[in-house]
Amino acid sequence: MAVPWHPRSWAPLAAALTLLLVTGCASGDVPPPTVESSSAAPAPPSGATPGTPTPLTSPDGTDGGTGVEQDIDAAVSVTTTYWQTHWPELFTGGYNPPRILGTYDGDTPGTPVCGSEPLPDDNAVYCPDGDYIAWDMDLMRWGHARGDAWVYLVIAHEWGHAVQNRLDAGLVDLARELQADCLAGAVLFGAAQDGTLTFEEGDTEELADALTALADRTPWTDISDHGDASQRVGYFSRGARSGVKSCLPNVVP
């Protein structure tokens, strides 16, 4: 049942996503579409040999086709590749990926700590002290049951915090959580443009659903912390349409 959204057709996909996501929401904070200057050429970056793109939805069109662990591995791989490939085009200085601490269970004794605090139950984190990304498997399973796009969004978002931690302070938005959503949009849609990730029918709805569900969830989505649903969708859409630079304050995309 899945009609593949091929990577080259990302523009209509982005338009569809934007339309879907901003319908009924204030969208005044979304700038007019612009082309990410660093990737005006749609060809994959040199050195990046697209193999078989990671499908965001399994080939048979059902999310049940891939396990949550498999999707997590794919999301980590896609996000790693995106930042390694594009960092030199975007920023000065080298790029070192964060560590992947991976799965924890916030409900049991022995939960890893960030600083002196145990990692939060049913949550996902980037921990600056230790420079690692980790997620409670309960959060991932809960979201994955709604659609596999969930794990891609959560991992790309947390990775956005790792990127913030590598930037000059002037490039970090005061609304750090919303900027992380913007960076997640830039990564997932940029990966589709690169041919490392394939969107299929239903994925945009899943992303919209995930952003909305996350906005309803606490503590990952405490409004004071992460913004309300329309804000999250607006920032994600901006990154999806206009790329990483559109997520950075004081930078003309």
Q: Which residues bind Zn ion (CB under 5 A)?
A: 177, 180
User: Cβ closer to Zn ion: 136 or 177?
Assistant: 177
User: Cβ closer to Zn ion: 88 or 249?
Assistant: 249
Whole-number minimum distance, CB 5 to Zn ion, in Å? 27
The answer, yes or no, to whether the previous bond of 249 is cis (omega within 30 of 0) is no
Residues near 245 by Cβ (< 8 Å), separated by ≥ 6? 36, 37, 38, 90, 251, 252, 253
User: Cβ closer to Zn ion: 87 or 220?
Assistant: 220
Is the CB of residue 209 less than 8 Å from the CB of residue 147?
Answer: yes
Whole-number minimum distance, CB 147 to Zn ion, in Å? 20
User: Cβ closer to Zn ion: 133 or 208?
Assistant: 133
User: Cβ closer to Zn ion: 10 or 104?
Assistant: 104
**Burial group, residue 208, by CB count within 10 angstroms (0-12, 13-18, 19+):** buried
User: Cβ closer to Zn ion: 63 or 177?
Assistant: 177
Neighbours of 216 (CB within 10 A): 11
Distance CA 253, CA 183 (A): 13
- Helix locations, the chain, DSSP H: 10-22, 68-90, 137-144, 149-164, 176-194, 203-216, 223-226, 229-242
| Token reading at 93 | 């200085």
- Altogether, the residues listed in the chain come to a count of 253
